[in-house]
Chains A and B, each alone.
Chain A
C-alpha cells in the first residue's frame, strides 16, 4: 500500500503533464503580473505574482485573504523538482543521451538561477556628483533610521535601524552605546504638514516634530513614487528620556541630541551599505545626436580607490558596459543636476553567471544531440545499399 502511494507520487512528480501544467501556470502568471503592473508597479507586481509561494486575493467587503493561484516561487520549485525527477526517470545514462542530459541540466540551472536571483540579488544605487567621492550604495526602496554618533572629529559611528525594525515598534538597543530607542509609532506612508490649531496634539515633544502634523496614508505602489515614512522614537540613555522625536525621510536636516558629551544625529534616509572602497566621479558625459535632444550615450569616468588592495584606477562605465567589481555590477542608470550627477545602478547577484552557463549548456546539449542523431542517421543510410 505504502509502495503503491509512493509509486503514484513518483509518477506524478515525474509526469510530463506536470511539466506542461507548470509552464502553462508560468504563462498565466506572466500575463497577470504584466497586467497588474498598472496598479501595483513593477516591483509590487513581481513580489505579488512571481516571488511569492501563493497569489492571494481579498474577498470583496472583507479583510479575509484567500490563495487563488500558485505563485511564481511555488511553480518554479515544482518545475525544478519535476525536471530533475523526470530526467532521472526517463533518460537512460548513456553516451547516446548525453546531449539531452546536458540540455536538461541547463534548464534545471536556469530555473535554479532564478531562485538564486530572487533570494540573493540586491539592487542598490550609487549617486555621485562630479568631483565627489562616495563609499556607500543606497537601497532606493528601503529606509533606515540612522543614529549617528558624530562626536569623533575623524569618523562617525553609524547605527542603522531598518524600517522593518521600526515597524515592529518596541525598544531597540544600539550596540556598544548606552542608547536605547523606544519606537513609539511608525507609519509606512504619511503626509507631513505644519500642525494647525485644529490638529490633535503632536505626539513628538522634541525637535521639529512638535510642530508637524502626521496623517497616515496608504502605501504608494507606482514605480516613480516613494513612501514618506515617519516614526516616533524616544532615545533613552542612562535612565533618562531625551523626548519623543519625529523622524521621516521627508524631513531634511538631521536632528540631534546629546548624552554625556556625545552628540547623536537622528536621520531617516535610504538604507545604506558601506563599501570597503570608494568611487570618485571624474567626469560624466551625456552625448546627444547632433541638432537633437535624443540621447546618444551616457558615460561616467570613475576612479576606484581600494586601500585594501592598494588599488587606484580609472574605469569608464557606459550604457551596456557595466563595471564589475568585488561582486557588484555598476550600470549607468540615470543622471541629473545639469549632467553633473551620475546615478549608477548597483546589482549584486551571486548567481549572475547561471543564466549564461545554462544557455551555453542547453545549446551545447542540443548540438551534441543533433550530432549524435545525425551520425546515427548517416550510418543507417550508409548501411542501406549493402542491405539492398
Chain B
C-alpha cells in the first residue's frame, strides 16, 4: 500500500511557512484618546520574565558616564549623608543616593534641546505612577517654581493613589540649550522624608566651573 496523500504534508508545511511570514504590514487602528498612557512594567518588582520583559533593561555597570554637554554642565551641593556618582546607566548624567532607608531613586538626566517638551515629560512622570496626563492648564497649576543658582527650575510633585502610594518629585530646567531633569521617585514615605534635602539640591543647581 502506497500513501496517496503526500501532498497534504507539503500543504501543511507551506501553511506553516505562510503563517510564520504574516504580520509585517503597517496596521491602522482608530482608538479613543487614552486617559493615561501605558504603565511602565519595567518598574515592576519581583515580576517574572513577562513582567521584566515589558521594559528595556539598560546595562548599568559598563556604561561610561555621559560627557559634559555643550553649553556647560550642572553641579550641585549634596546635603549631609548624600552621595553621588557620574552615570548610572543609559541616558543618566548622574545618580544620587540619599541616606533615607527605603525605595528612593534620584537621577540627573540631560538631553539636548527641548527633549520632547515639558508637558510630555511631566505626563511621562505622572504615567509612571499611574496618574492621568495633564493639559497645559493643569501643568501650569502643578508647576512650583524654585529659584536656583542656575535660574528658575520648575518643580513638580505627584503622588499616586491607592493604599501603597508612589511619589515623584522632579525638577525641570532649560540651561544653555539643554534640558535637565533632576528626579526623585519611589515609595511615598521615603520620598517624603528625602524631599527637603532634594529641594535643597535643586536650589543648589549651578553651572559647573
- B51:A333 contact, CB within 8 angstroms: yes
B160 within 8 A of A: yes
In the complex, A184 has a CB within 8 A of chain B: no
Residue B79 lies at the interface, judged by CB distance under 8 Å to chain A: no
Given A156-B30, A334-B46, A194-B91 contact (CB < 8 Å) = yes
* Interface CB pairs A-B, < 8 A, 17: A81-B9, A119-B19, A127-B54, A158-B28, A165-B25, A175-B26, A175-B28, A191-B63, A223-B49, A228-B58, A253-B116, A334-B47, A335-B44, A336-B43, A337-B44, A341-B44, A343-B54
Compute how far the CA of A157 lies from the CA of B30 in the bound complex, rounded to whole angstroms: 5
Q: How far is the CA of A77 from the CA of B112 in the complex (A)?
A: 55
What's the least CB distance linking A165 to chain B, in Å? 5
Give the Cβ gap from A193 to chain B, nearest Cβ, in Å. 5
Q: Contacts A153-B33, A194-B110, A337-B160; is A227 near B47 (CB within 8 Å)? A: no
CB proximity of A244 to chain B, nearest CB, Å: 14
Q: Is A125 an interface residue (CB 8 A)?
A: yes
Shortest Cβ gap from A272 to chain B (Å):
8
- Is there an interface contact between A250 and B58, defined as CB atoms closer than 8 Å? yes
Known: A7-B2, A154-B32, A269-B38. A115 touches B51 (CB 8 A): no
Does A138 lie at the interface of the complex (its beta carbon under 8 Å from any beta carbon of B)? yes
The 9 closest A-B pairs by CB, nearest first: A211-B112, A196-B67, A253-B116, A336-B44, A338-B164, A334-B51, A194-B66, A253-B120, A334-B47
Interface string of A215-235 (1 = CB under 8 A from B): 000001001111110000000
Query: Contact residue range for chain A?
Result: 35 or more
How many positions in chain B have a CB within 8 Å of any CB in the partner chain? 77
A162 to chain B, nearest CB (A): 6
Asked whether, in the complex, the Cβ of B41 is within 8 Å of the Cβ of A341, the reply is yes
Task: Determine chain A's interface SS by DSSP, over half rule.
Answer: mixed
For chains A and B in complex, what number of residue pairs have CB atoms within 8 angstroms?
245
Q: Are B19 and A120 closer than 8 Å at their CB atoms? A: yes
Q: Which of A7, A130, A198 contacts B162 (CB 8 A)?
A: A130
Q: Contact: A338 with B187, CB < 8 Å?
A: yes
**A42 to B52 CA separation, bound complex (whole angstroms):** 14
Query: Quick check: is B57 within 8 A (CB to CB) of the other chain?
Result: yes
A residues engaging B (CB < 8 A)?
3, 6-7, 10, 13, 42, 73, 77, 81, 85, 88-89, 115, 119-120, 123, 125, 127-136, 138, 140-141, 153-162, 164-165, 172-176, 191-199, 207-208, 210-212, 220, 223-228, 249-255, 269-270, 274, 333-341, 343, 345
B209 close to A (CB within 8 Å): no
Q: Could you tell me the distance in whole angstroms from the C-beta of A303 to the nearest C-beta in chain B? A: 15
Q: With A156-B31, A335-B44 given, is the CB distance from A253 to B121 under 8 Å?
A: yes
For residue B113, CB closer than 8 A to chain A, the reply is yes
Minimum CB–CB distance for B26 against chain A, Å: 5
CA distance A340 to B39 in the complex (A): 11
Chain A residues, CB < 8 A from B26 = 159-161, 165, 172-175
Q: Which residues of A contact B67 (CB under 8 A)?
A: 194-199
CA distance A75 to B49 in the complex (A): 28
A196 partner residues in chain B, CB cutoff 8 A: 66-68
Contact A155–B31 (Cβ < 8 Å): yes
